[in-house]
Amino acid sequence: DAKTTQPTSMDCAEGRAANLPCNHSTISGNEYVYWYRQIHSQGPQYIIHGLKNNETNEMASLIITEDRKSSTLILPHATLRDTAVYYCIVRVATSGSRLTFGEGTQLTVNP
Amino acid sequence: EAGVVQSPRYKIIEKKQPVAFWCNPISGHNTLYWYLQNLGQGPELLIRYENEEAVDDSQLPKDRFSAERLKGVDSTLKIQPAELGDSAVYLCASSSGSSGGLTDTQYFGPGTRLTVL
């Protein structure tokens, strides 16, 4: 699986957009980009995934660059409850359902 | 819809003692996973079940760890004997796909926090 690189931590003001970057420069053509988050003392929670097109759901938007070497998760109006560790994961089509988590980005939303 | 249920939420034991964790996946989910999460790190897969069959247990330390999913529904993960380094959070997850499909979303339980003294 391709390796991902994320900043260790980020801060965001409540009500503002949170933009979380992820680099995956060795991504292959058949690999998807997944985002999960983990709120303190809870299990990881699925947010969104995409292959090459931008994706949006009720939680967030995922912007993938044209060369697919990086992506950005956007939380449009961050709330205090969005404070969590955010994991960017690249998933190989042939490796079954294994999710390989890195250390993620600790997002802190401040009032 | 109930989520993934795990018990206990917390467990404190002395080293060399046995310990077991229980997981009940989301109803109808064929695939069940056990992950280990050390402090400050992301979860790591220990074992994956498709129904009652363990299809990926390459990361499970088989000398002291064992798991079962006898009826293809709930599952138990056991450590015997526990070591100090086993202190971690043990997470269970489930998904509905039967072959670990690429877009198959995994739903996680709250985990069991194990402390070995």
Helix (H, G, I), strand (E, B) or coil at A107: strand
Tokens of A5: 């690189």
Give residue B37's pLDDT.
96
- A42's CB contacts (< 8 A; 6+ apart) are B108, B110, B111
The tens digit of pLDDT for each residue in B6-31 reads 999 999 999 999 999 999 999 989 88
Of residues A32, A46, A103, nearest to B106 (C-beta): A46
State the smallest CA–CA distance between residue A25 and chain B in angstroms.
Answer: 20
- What phi and psi, each to the nearest 5 degrees, are found at residue B84? -55, -40
Residue indicated by tokens 């990361």: B59
Give residue B1's pLDDT.
63
Give residue A88's pLDDT.
96
Answer whether residue B105 shows pLDDT above 90: no
pLDDT category of residue B101 using cuts at 50, 70 and 90: low
Tokens of A62: 């995922």
The tens digit of pLDDT for each residue in B25-71 reads 999 898 899 999 999 999 999 999 989 999 889 899 999 999 999 88
Q: Report the distance separating Cα A50 and Cα A74, nearest Å.
A: 13
Print pLDDT tens along chain A (111 aa). 668 999 999 999 999 999 999 999 999 888 889 999 999 999 999 999 999 989 999 999 999 999 999 999 999 999 999 999 999 999 875 445 578 898 899 999 999
CA dihedral A46, A52, A58, A61 (to 10 degrees): 100
CB contact under 8 A, B105 and A42: no
Q: Which residues of B touch A46 (CB under 8 A)?
A: 105-107
Asked whether the CA dihedral B47, B107, A72, A8 is positive or negative, the reply is: negative
Question: Taking CB atoms and an 8 Å cut-off, how many pairs form between chains A and B?
Answer: 58
Give residue B83's pLDDT.
96
Asked whether the beta carbons of A24 and A88 are under 8 A apart, the reply is yes
Residue indicated by tokens 């994956």: B48
- Between CA B83 and CA B57, with CA B19 as vertex, the angle to 5 degrees is 80
Give residue B91's pLDDT.
98
Q: Report the distance separating Cα A88 and Cα A102, nearest Å.
A: 8
Residues in chain B: 117
Answer whether residue B104 shows pLDDT above 80: no
Which among A27, A37, A28 is positioned nearest to A5, based on CA atoms? A27
Q: Report the distance separating Cα A91 and Cα A89, nearest Å.
A: 6
Give residue A95's pLDDT.
43
Sheet holding B19-24, edge to edge: B5-7, B19-24, B75-79, B65-68
- Chain A contact for B61, CB < 8 A? no
Q: Report the distance separating Cα A70 and Cα A76, nearest Å.
A: 19
Asked whether the beta carbons of A60 and A78 are under 8 A apart, the reply is no
Q: Which residues of B touch A91 (CB under 8 A)?
A: 102
CB contact under 8 A, A101 and B43: yes
CB contact under 8 A, B91 and A43: yes
The residue in chain B having the minimum alpha-carbon distance to the alpha carbon of residue A99 is B45
